[in-house]
Amino acid sequence: MNLEGLRVMGIDPGLTRCGLSVVQAGRGRAIIPVSVGVVRTPSGHELTERLLRLSKAAQEWMDDYNPDVVAIERVFERGNVSTVIQTAHAVGVLMLAAAERNVPVYSYTPSEVKKAISGNGRADKKQMTAMITRILGLSEAPKPADAADALALAVCHCWRAPALARTQQQGAWPSS
């Protein structure tokens, strides 16, 4: 299945730092980087203000880059309930921004992304950053790690999209 030209927005959600990226699928497994960045919200500000800032940033990116799909990291238990809850709030407003534009959203666990990018579901941040830099042919590694993670999510979806599209054609679209 050829999905050349598919534009994917990758989001590494976080309340303090949220990685955003946009890539475009090329021929085969080639991926063209379009943009990458990080939205920061001050930890001393009210939660509602921080969530609004994240939402507005995501909306601006979607309006500027017009992605066909969003790939976002699935919230998982990290041991700190407070962190999980804050990340879940961020995920909610980011998914809403996509839903308001009728942009489909797919969620991937960190281990799914690591496996897709490096072949190792337990790859560390350094290995993931090196792999994403190489895959995208970047002259330097994206920084901070949230930016590299957002790119990895987008690339992961590009590589999984053909199988997902085949599943959709067979009438059994997986829930995301």
For residues 54 and 57, give the distance between their C-alpha atoms in angstroms, rounded to a whole number: 5
HSE, side-chain direction, 13 A CA sphere, residue 124: 1
Residues whose CB falls within 8 Å of the CB of residue 119, separated by 6 or more in sequence, listed in order? none
Q: Is 73 annotated as a binding residue?
A: yes
Per the annotation, the verdict on 124 as an active-site residue is no
The two three-digit tokens of residue 86, written as one number: 């804050």
Residue pair 58/81 in contact by the 8 Å Cβ criterion = no
12: annotated active-site residue: yes
Q: Which of 63, 73, 100, 140 is catalytic?
A: 73
Long-range contacts at 1-4 (CB < 8 A, ≥ 24 apart): 1/162, 1/165, 1/166, 2/162, 3/158, 3/161, 3/162, 3/165
Set 68, 77, 100, 146: catalytic member: 146
The residues, any chain, with a CB within 8 Å of residue 92's CB and separated by 6 or more, are: none
Q: Considering 12, 112, 124, 149, which one is annotated as catalytic?
A: 12
Amino acid at the residue 8: V
Helix (H, G, I), strand (E, B) or coil at 161: helix
DSSP character for 45?
S
Q: Which residues are catalytic?
A: 12, 73, 146
Residues making up the annotated binding site for Mg(2+) are: 12, 73, 146
